[in-house]
Structure 1
Amino acid sequence: MLSPMPSYKIPRRLPAVRLTVTATAAAWAMALGGAAPGALAVESGAPADTAADRAHRDFLDHGPGIGVMTAAHRGQWREAPENSIPAIREAFADGAEIVEVDIRLTKDGVPVLMHDETVDRTTDGTGRVGDLTYAQLRALRLREGLGGRQTALTADRVPTLAEAMTAARTHGLVNLDQVWQHREAVWRVLEATGTVRNGLFKSRAPVTEVKAFRTRHPGALYMHLVDDANATSVAEFGNDRPPAFEVVFDEVGDTVAGAAFLRGLRATSRVWINGMRDGLAARYTDEASLIAPARGWATLIGGYGASIIQTDNVEALETYLATGAAGAVPTGAVRIQGEEHVLGGEGVAYHDIDAGNRGDGPGRSGEDVDVCDHDGAVAVCWMRGSEWLTYAVDVPRSGSYALKARVSSPYSPAGTYRLAFDGGAPGAAVRVANTTGHHAFALQAGGVTRTLERGRHTLRLSLDADAFQNWNLDYLQLEPVTAPGE
């Protein structure tokens, strides 16, 4: 692990304060390649100090006392379709200062929000975005969350970039991914919608190309992506560095993950690090953060100098930045990790229909339960009909408890499970709902309530043999039920 960077230790988010724009501050901001804070807001008729104004100022601030900014990956896709207007609005409402979206051009040249080259995963249509006109694309409906062919359709439509920028205009910044080859068309949209100060361009293009773009468009916000393959590009900017660098490293020994390299970036710019997947920041992920912050966000901030974190867990990151806690067990609840079943082996502690651990996670030696590591979430996987697991549960207080399960699956139906307490008969089948991805974990209510005495109990989770089963179990959670008026 990289040693801490005490010279640039970043505090948790500071309370928002109102700032007065001075000539000095404006000149300093312009020197970083951005517009003077507040200048575009006044020219466009926006309110004098919106959330977007504050995000713009914060983005241009790289001092040692700055707070960490939250960037929502494809918007808040946990509450709305990815890259949709509702996902953008929900991300800002949940506390993100930046929303990341992906841009592609339709056959008739309209910039729209779409991650994939095709519309197959996220809509009810098929085909390449570049082969469809905007009218054809607009007729399609977006699927929930991360999409998938078995995911439910919504009433939402594929938005244009103009619609997205208008929605973000007073709320925050928009990280414009996959736009560099279409940067001039995108710039025209920003100008037409009065959102130049909201749009954040990024690329790993040759520095001469980047400088030319920034010279033509001095008000453009720009972030340069660096990894070991182009680490030397940082020096090519000279004294005209962009206000942020996105740093990608899959190993802690990478050049761009080195303390000296990162200190050099932090001296002039914000450092953006991605927490979504293992290979983006050497396994310091969102999901690992929810197990222990030191395995993710805390180390990205304190050890690697991150001052912007892109995340798939907006609310959890916001909670961590405000309180220092992540993934905490609710007061009075009991959490049972899926892989932490009782000892005893096949037929006693569990029943698994195939030999060995089929997953890539840290299963117990000599046992056949399948355990996967989904970008830091350690979960029981390869779930199949007739299998079961037994757990020991220590209940802290007598009372009524409702059961929830943190699960993931891209299938509909994903499967069913039944619960048996203390050797009793299994209860009614609980349906696992589609979460729109194997890596998209969600805490789902099980509809099971049980009165339990204080002390140790056993709980057996069994999968119906006659039902389709293909889902992952992160953990079970027993939460105390509070009666009305208590």
Structure 2
Amino acid sequence: MVVSHRGDWRHAPENSLWSVKCAADAGADVVEIDVSLTKDSILVLMHDKTIDRTTTGKGRVSELTYEQIRCHFLKDGLGLSTSLRVPTLEEVLVLCKDRVLLNVDKGFDYIDLIYPLVKKYGMLDQVIFKGTTTLEEYKRKYGTYMDHICFMPIINLQALGRDKATKMVEEFLSCEDMVVGFEFVLGSDESQLIDFSPLVDRDLIVWMNSLRDVYCGGHSDDRAFVDRSIYDWFVRHHINCIQTDRIDVLISYLSQKGLYNHKK
């Protein structure tokens, strides 16, 4: 599975409707988006706490109304103004329904608002929620939603170490149908790498980011841009879901290897 980070931000402003559409058109299986909440409780797509970096405006999302944010334009990757505006989560759900999976990053921060919206559009099986949480924390904070959402714990192998990380995985797996998979953060080397094949054998997603070296033991997109065989490492280690900043490069590599089985 190919996951496009913040939409296809190399071809459109990150977290814009156009970047989401570009990612889906390019063949992403999953589109990752970031959600934030305005002063008047509207869910919008925004990675940062402020709108300074990605729009022509300034200010904290939480201190601006939706209309105040919509007065400004999104910037492209070069920092230049475009004609696009900050979209709402609802607009993205309408665009993606029955088309592509969504990963709503920071989704648990606002799950009481996001869940009914996703349910309204009949997309509970189309949206993946992720979080750095233990099983007990998950049950305590989000137990109301456990039987209704697609959940993926984030396991930081570098921070936890191999033994603690393995124990955490086993705890989640002890509860039947609790998770759809796991996202793993490896670190800048492979010292804490674990065997992912048992998870794949159970038809679970094994997700890793190729965005930067620190996430994937040095096997990053920018290295693969020069040498696509870098991606061989993910295949050898049974990683079946890759979040990328270079969707075209990754899909080209997987297609040449006969490993790209995208179905719209």
Percent identity of equivalent pairs: 32
What is the CA deviation profile of residues 423-455 of structure 1, one whole-angstrom value per residue up to 9, with x for unaligned ones?
Answer: xxxxxxxxxxxxxxxxxxxxxxxxxxxxxxxxx
For the Cα contact (< 8 Å) 2:4–2:28, is it kept in 1? yes
Moved over 6 A (4+): none
Residue in 2 that maps onto 1:154: 82
CA distance in 1, matches of 2:102, 2:4: 9
Q: Is the 8 A contact 1:224 1:246 kept in 2?
A: yes
Among 180, 188, 194, the alignment partner of 1:258 is 194
Asked if structure 1 preserves the Cα contact closer than 8 Å seen for 2:139 and 2:146, the reply is no
AA partner of residue 294 (structure 1): S
Equivalent residue, structure 2, for 1:54: none
* Aligned pair partner of 1:292 in 210, 227, 239: 227
Cα pair 2:34 2:104 within 8 Å, conserved? yes
Report the alpha carbon displacement of residue 137 of structure 1 after superposing the two structures with TM.
1.1
Residue 239 to residue 191, structure 1, CA distance change in 2 (3 Å): closer
Higher share in strand: 1
**Structure 1: how far apart are the matches of 2:137 and 2:87?**
29
* Alignment match, 1:188: 116
User: Does residue 219 of structure 1 match 2:148?
Assistant: yes
Q: Deviations over 1:85-117 (max 9, x none)?
A: 011011010010100000111111111100011
Q: How far off its partner does 1:193 sit?
A: 2.7
Tell whether 2:20 aligns with 1:88. Answer: yes
Q: Is the 8 A contact 2:73 2:83 kept in 1?
A: yes
Distance in 2 (CA, whole Å) between partners of 1:293 and 1:305 is 17
1:310 correspondence with 2:228? no
Give the 3 Å change call, closer, same or farther, for CA 266–116 of structure 1 in structure 2.
same
Shift of 1:206: 2.5
More helix by share: 2
Name the CA distance, whole Å, in 2 between partners of 1:193 and 1:163. Answer: 11
Q: State the shift of 1:246 in Å.
A: 0.4
Asked if residue 140 in structure 1 is aligned to residue 140 in structure 2, the reply is no
Work out the CA distance in 2 between the residues paired with 1:80 and 1:318: 18
String of CA shifts for 1:49-85, please: whole Å, max 9, x gaps. Answer: xxxxxxxxxxxxxxxxxxxx11000001122110010
Name the CA distance, whole Å, in 2 between partners of 1:104 and 1:171.
Answer: 23
Length-normalised TM-score, structure 1: 0.49
1-side partners of 2:2 and 2:209: how far apart? Answer: 10
Question: Structure 1 residues 264 and 227, CA, compared in 2 at 3 Å: closer, same or farther?
Answer: farther
Aligned partner of residue 100 in structure 1, secondary structure = strand
**Equivalent in the alignment of 2:185:** 248
Whether the 8 Å CA contact 2:3–2:32 is kept in 1: the answer is: yes
Q: Which whole-Å deviations, capped at 9, do the CAs of 1:149-206 have from their partners, x for residues lacking one?
A: xx22111110111111111112111111112121121112212233222211000122
1:73 alignment partner in structure 2: 5
SS at match of 1:322: helix
Cα offset for 1:318? 0.9
Does residue 1:280 correspond to 2:215, yes or no?
yes
Specify every segment of 5 or more residues in structure 2 that has no aligned partner in the other structure, as ranges: 259-264
Q: Distance in 1 between matches of 2:145 and 2:48?
A: 30
Query: Is residue 138 of structure 2 the alignment partner of residue 203 of structure 1?
Result: no
Q: Which has the higher contact order (CA 8 A, sep 6+)?
A: 2
Instruction: State which structure, 1 or 2, has the greater radius of gyration over its C-alpha atoms.
Output: 1
Tell whether the 8 Å contact from 2:51 to 2:57 is kept in structure 1 after alignment: yes
Distance 2:188 2:197 in 1: 18
- Would you say the 8 A contact 1:226–1:246 is kept in 2? yes
Asked if structure 2 preserves the Cα contact closer than 8 Å seen for 1:74 and 1:87, the reply is: yes
Partner SS for 1:318: helix
- Report the alpha carbon displacement of residue 258 of structure 1 after superposing the two structures with TM: 2.2
Gaps in structure 1 of 5+ consecutive residues: 1-68, 326-486
SS in 2 for 1:163: helix
User: Which aligned pairs between 1:47-446 and structure 2 lie closer than 5 A?
Assistant: 69-145=1-77, 151-211=79-139, 213=142, 216-228=145-157, 229=160, 231=165, 232-237=167-172, 238-240=174-176, 241-255=178-192, 257-259=193-195, 262-268=196-202, 269-295=204-230, 297-302=231-236, 304-324=237-257
Secondary structure of the structure 1 residue equivalent to 2:50: coil
CA contact (8 A) 2:103 2:129 kept: yes
Q: Match of 2:262?
A: none
TM-score by length of structure 2 reads: 0.88
Distance (Å, rounded) in 2 between the aligned partners of 1:251 and 1:120:
30
2:261 aligns with none
Deviation for aligned residue 1:217: 4.8
Q: Contact 1:293–1:299 at 8 Å: present in 2 too?
A: no
C-alpha change, 1:251 and 1:287, in structure 2 (3 Å) is: closer
Cα offset, 1:254, TM superposition: 3.8
Aligned length: 248
Give the direction of change, closer, same or farther, for the CA distance of 1:153–1:291 in structure 2 (3 Å limit): same
